[in-house]
């Protein structure tokens, strides 16, 4: 179940960020560019995700899934925090770089979520797949936050999601009864 929460929050965070990039980049205190120009920068976010997937695959040959997931989550959280606490190009490029670290989250959460389920692996997989509904729920919540406090500060929501994913990667994905 902790893995299902992880998938819900990860997909929600990724879709929330991706959905608000154009609005974010066009803010006067962030990119101060037209929405059309801002749309061009969205490809950098997804390009970082593609590169991150390749790099993440190589890193997974040396490190465990939980460590890779925890490292990616803390990096994503820190980049979101930098973006929220800054303005201009620093805010813009730090949020673009989140895509790099997002790229390894789904496969690692999924792998950790079904580990050790034995005959329940099929049911566990189904629950994890259904958890992608976070990509429909969290952007709506982030939109409501953006309407109240602005899109810049609404990024706190994905930041909180990454903190949970950090917990799940480092501690929450361990089978019960395993010592720390």
- With a cut of 70, say whether residue 176 has pLDDT above it: no
**What is the overall mean pLDDT for the chain?**
91
Would you state the pLDDT for residue 12?
96
- With a cut of 80, say whether residue 175 has pLDDT above it: no
Nearest to 140 by CA among 9, 22, 16, 6: 16
Torsion sign across C-alpha atoms 18, 23, 25, 27? negative
Would you state the pLDDT for residue 124?
85
Domain coordinates in residue numbering, the chain: 2-172
Instruction: Spell out the SS3 assignment of the chain.
Output: CHHHHHHHHHHHHHHHHHHHHHHHHCCCCCCCCCHHHHHHHHHHHHHHHHHHHHHHHHHHCCCCHHHHHHHHHHHHHHHHHHHHHCCHHHHHHHHHHHHHHHCCHHHHHHHHHHCCCHHHHHHHHHHHHHHHHHHHHHHHHHHHHHHHHCHHHHCHHHHHHHHHHHHHHHHHCCCCCCCC
- pLDDT, tens only, 2-61: 889 999 999 999 999 999 999 999 999 999 999 999 999 999 999 999 999 999 989 989
* Interval 70-78 mean pLDDT: 96
- Return d(Cα 121, Cα 132) in angstroms, integer: 17
Q: Please check whether residue 80 is in contact with residue 158, taking contact to mean a CB–CB distance below 8 angstroms.
A: yes
What predicted TM-score, i.e. pTM, was given to this entire model? 0.89
Nearest to 165 by CA among 105, 115, 112: 105
Would you state the pLDDT for residue 120?
84
- With a cut of 90, say whether residue 177 has pLDDT above it: no
- pLDDT, tens only, 86-131: 999 999 999 999 999 999 999 899 999 888 878 888 888 899 999 9
pLDDT band (50, 70, 90) for residue 180: very low
As its CATH architecture, domain 2-172 has: Up-down Bundle (1.20)
């Amino acid at each position: 179940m902790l893995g299902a929460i992880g998938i819900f929050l990860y997909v929600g965070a990724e879709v929330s960020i991706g959905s608000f990039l154009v609005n974010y980049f066009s803010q006067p205190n962030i990119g101060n560019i037209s929405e059309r120009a801002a749309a061009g920068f969205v490809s950098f976010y997804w390009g970082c995700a593609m590169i991150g997937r390749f790099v993440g695959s190589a890193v997974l040959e040396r490190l465990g899934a939980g460590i890779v997931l925890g490292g990616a989550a803390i990096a994503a959280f820190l980049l979101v925090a930098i973006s929220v606490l800054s303005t201009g190009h620093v805010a813009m490029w730090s949020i673009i770089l989140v895509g790099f670290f997002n790229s390894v989250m789904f496969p690692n959460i999924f792998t950790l979520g079904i580990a050790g389920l034995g005959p329940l692996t099929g049911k566990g997989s189904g629950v994890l797949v259904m958890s992608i509904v976070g990509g429909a729920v969290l952007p709506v919540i982030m939109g409501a936050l953006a309407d109240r406090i602005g899109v810049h500060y609404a990024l706190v929501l994905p930041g909180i999601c990454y903190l949970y994913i950090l917990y799940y990667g480092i501690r929450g994905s361990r089978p019960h009864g395993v010592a720390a």
